[in-house]
Amino acid sequence: MKLEIRRFDSPDETRTFQKGKFELLTTGGVTVGRASYEPGWKWSEHVGPRVGADSCAVEHVGLVLSGHAVVAMDDGTEVEIGPGDLFYVPPGHDSWVVGDEPYVSLHFLGADEYADIKD
């Protein structure tokens, strides 16, 4: 392996959907994703129907860079996350942007599976 510097300015793949996108970079055998969602984005409205699911089945570990979102587990548990929050979200959840600011987060686990839409 050799030293490699990557930037999201040139992602390997961009998965787009209404009110958002998910960019992927792979380096050192690890795939990292950057989620960028506009105000009003909601997983169950803007991603779920395209992947054929009512709730997200992907396990996530990530870091919020900007904006705020609510994560709602299928069991009814809800939590708001914001800038600087390192999160673990197990499968079986919905999420949505809150407020008027775009939401951006990095995903270190589950990025390769997330929003893998087969049109």
Q: What is the pLDDT of residues 80-103, one digit of tens each?
A: 999 999 999 999 999 999 999 999
Complete domains list, the chain, with CATH: 13-109 (2.60.120.10)
pTM of this prediction? 0.94
Q: What is the pLDDT of residues 38-74, one digit of tens each?
A: 999 999 999 999 999 999 999 999 999 999 999 999 9
Give pLDDT, residue 115: 87
Confidence of residue 118 (pLDDT cuts 50, 70, 90): low
Q: Rounded to whole angstroms, what are the CA distances from 115 to 17, 87, 99, 101?
A: 9, 18, 23, 22
The residue type at 16: T
Return the half-sphere exposure (C-beta side, CA atoms, 13 A cut-off) of residue 79. 11
Task: Report residue 99 as tokens.
Answer: 């407020």
Residue 79 CA to residue 110 CA, distance in Å, equals 20
* Residue 38, strand partner residues: none
